[in-house]
Amino acid sequence: MSNPIQAVRGMRDMHPEETPRWVRLEGIARRVLDAYGYREVRLPLLEKTELFRRSIGEVTDIVEKEMYTFEDRNGESLTLRPEGTAGCVRAGIQHGWFQQPGRRLWYLGPMFRHERPQQGRYRQFHQIGVEAYGMPGPDIDAELILLSARLWRELGVEDVRLELNTLGDPADRGAYRKRLVDYFEARHDALDEDSRRRLHGNPLRILDSKNPAMQGLIENAPRLGEHVGAECRAHFEALQETLRKAGVDFVVNPRLVRGLDYYNRTVFEWVTDRLGAQGTVCAGGRYDGLVEQLGGRATPAVGFAMGLERLLALLGDAWGGERSAADVYLVMVGEAAERAGPVLAERLRGAVPRLRLLVHCGGGSFKSQFKRADRSGARLALVLGEEEARTGRVSVKPLREAGGQSELEQSDLADYLAKTLYSGAAE
């Protein structure tokens, strides 16, 4: 036997026991997004590399060192999407989505970044992204934050705090950038290698450095807040007021700059201390310049994305519970039963709404089949032996509750199952 092939590093397989948690999370998110009038879009995993260079920014970790980029067979440079905002803007421009004002969109799916894998950080991970277009005011910033806060409540997420900042508009940023470069240039000897590289390409990112040796220098650096113009400050104030009135706690973190270049004005992150170094479960902000920058008509925009692996880690293993493979397990012993069983099962599936019925295949004794029925988590076993197959009857045995085996006409079975298993409220 040759060596079995392993998954690519940083790419996780989702086990059958795990998927119910994902489905539940997605279901709750879908319901909340629906309640706010957001509509789902599904976008390609592959985009032209140029799209990410022009939106996320040349001098960012993502574009410099984390993208899965390759040439396709036509020699075109393509990249597996590292995030969803760029593709959403690309699609919106291409299809005229933004001509309708007040577009509210969301998407869910895998993203790819060649980062060093560790807990909460994968090379393929999943985001739910939420984007709103054509609305310039702080009301929509507030809506997005309130939506995320509601989602935490519905999911039962605890121990997350909201951090906010404003990055100002491009003119504010330009003035600030110049002061920052002057400040760091005067202290060039104290900069680490990464920061020297960023000094002229993207000096704001120096503020994001995690290097302990840089922290003193960063702490004393000029603050962006001092350069934010009156209009931006009013926008930020209005957002804070709405959040206060709505009872959403937050802290203003003047050091919050985000790792992607497209942001202006509001930026925010939901952070937890419970997941070690990878504590940001949701992040976003305003990106009013991006649509125009990518060739569309100037359109204000704001959005966020949450990391689903991190959210599930925060919710803990018990969240979402176990889901059995089936509610009913059909045991069949003998040739006649094996032939009649699948036909009976089809009839039942057609007749009983929501029925989850697993048919034993592959033969075996009563004992071994009952063992499997038990392991499946089913509540009832249906037993079809030679005798039952001949007489048109079936035995029913509860697997989880006390009670002996009973016998029914096969024609009464659909009613019996509907009543016993599914007469309560929908799951």
List the interface residues with ligand HAM, window 129-148 (CB under 6 A). Answer: 129, 131
Distance of alpha carbon 133 from alpha carbon 144, whole angstroms: 12
Nearer to ligand HAM, 40 or 185 (CB): 40
**CB of 285 or CB of 341, closer to ligand HAM:** 285
Nearest by Cα to 111 from 6, 277, 5, 260: 260
Q: Measure the CA–CA gap between 32 and 315, rounded to whole angstroms.
A: 18
Question: Judging by DSSP bridges, how do beta strands 77-80 and 46-48 pair with one another?
Answer: antiparallel
Residue 83 within binding range of ligand HAM, rule CB under 6 A: yes
Contact with ligand HAM (CB under 6 A) among 52, 97, 107, 122: 122
Give the C-alpha distances (Å, rounded to integers) separating 7 from 13, 83, 116, 383: 8, 22, 16, 41
Tally of residues, the chain: 427
The answer to whether residue 85 forms part of the interface with ligand HAM (CB under 6 A) is yes
Check residue 283 for interaction with ligand HAM (CB under 6 A): yes
Name which position in 135, 157, 282, 384 contacts ligand HAM (CB under 6 A).
282
Q: Which is nearer to ligand HAM, 60 or 376 (CB)?
A: 60
Counting contacts by CB under 6 A, is residue 279 touching ligand HAM?
no
Please report, for residues 279, 333, 338, 341, 396, the alpha-carbon distance to residue 385 in angstroms, rounded to integers and kept in the order given.
56, 5, 9, 10, 12
Stretch in the footprint of ligand HAM (CB under 6 A) among 95-103, 119-127, 234-242, 395-403: 119-127
92 contributes a contact to ligand HAM by CB under 6 A: no
What minimum distance in Å lies between the beta carbon of 277 and ligand HAM? Answer: 11
Cβ–Cβ under 8 Å, residues 100 and 56: no
* 165 is a site residue for ligand HAM (CB under 6 A): no
Q: Provide the minimum distance between the beta carbon of 114 and ligand HAM in the complex, in angstroms, as a whole number.
A: 9
What six digits make up the tokens of 297? 């008509």
DSSP designation for 131: E
Residues contacting ligand HAM: total by CB under 6 A: 28
C-beta separation of 144 from 242 below 8 A: no
What region, left, alpha or beta, does residue 372 occupy, with left being phi > 0 and alpha being psi -120 to 50 degrees?
Answer: alpha
The least distance separating ligand HAM from the CB of residue 82, rounded to whole angstroms, comes to 7
Taking the complex as a whole, the smallest distance from the CB of residue 281 to ligand HAM amounts, in Å, to 5
Q: Retrieve residue 202's tokens.
A: 């993207």
Phi, psi of 240, rounded to the nearest 5 degrees? -65, -40
Q: Return the closest-CA partner of residue 296 out of 288, 306, 308.
A: 288
d(CA 104, CA 283): 17
Q: Which stretch binds ligand HAM (CB under 6 A): 23-31, 235-243, 281-289, 336-344?
A: 281-289
Spatial distance between the Cα atoms of 290 and 296, rounded to a whole number of angstroms: 9
> Which 98-117 residues touch ligand HAM, going by CB under 6 A?
113, 115
**What's the gap between Cα 114 and its chain centre?**
18
Q: Tell me if 289 contacts ligand HAM by CB under 6 A.
A: no
In the complex with ligand HAM, which residue's Cβ is closer, 84 or 300? 84
Q: Which amino acid is at 325?
A: A
Q: How far apart are CA 361 and CA 160, in angstroms?
A: 47
Contacting range for ligand HAM; rule: CB under 6 A; set: 91-99, 178-186, 230-238, 299-307: 299-307
Give yes or no for residue 205 binding ligand HAM (CB under 6 A).
no
259 or 334, CB closer to ligand HAM?
259
Instruction: Check binding of 55 to ligand HAM (CB under 6 A).
Output: no
> By C-alpha distance, which of 269, 204, 179 is closest to 57?
204
Q: What is the smallest separation between the CB atom of 117 and ligand HAM, expressed in angstroms?
A: 8
Q: Where in 310-339 is the site for ligand HAM (CB under 6 A)?
A: 310
> Cα 355 to chain center, whole Å?
30
Q: Please enumerate in sequence order all residues whose Cβ is within 8 A of that of 35, keeping only pairs 6 or more positions apart, or say none.
A: none
**Site for ligand HAM (CB under 6 A): which residue of 125, 133, 236, 268?**
125
Name which of 81 and 393 has its Cβ closer to ligand HAM.
81
> Which residue in 55, 60, 79, 127 binds ligand HAM (CB under 6 A)?
127
State whether residue 51 is helix, strand or coil: helix
Q: 314 or 383, CB closer to ligand HAM? A: 314
Q: How far is the CB of 168 from ligand HAM (least distance, A)?
A: 17
Q: Hey, which residues between 58 and 77 contact ligand HAM (CB under 6 A)?
A: none
Distance CA 96, CA 102 (A): 13
Closest approach of ligand HAM to the CB of residue 258, in Å? 7
Enumerate binding residues for ligand HAM (CB under 6 A): 83-85, 113, 115, 120-122, 125, 127, 129, 131, 259-260, 280-285, 287, 303-307, 309-310
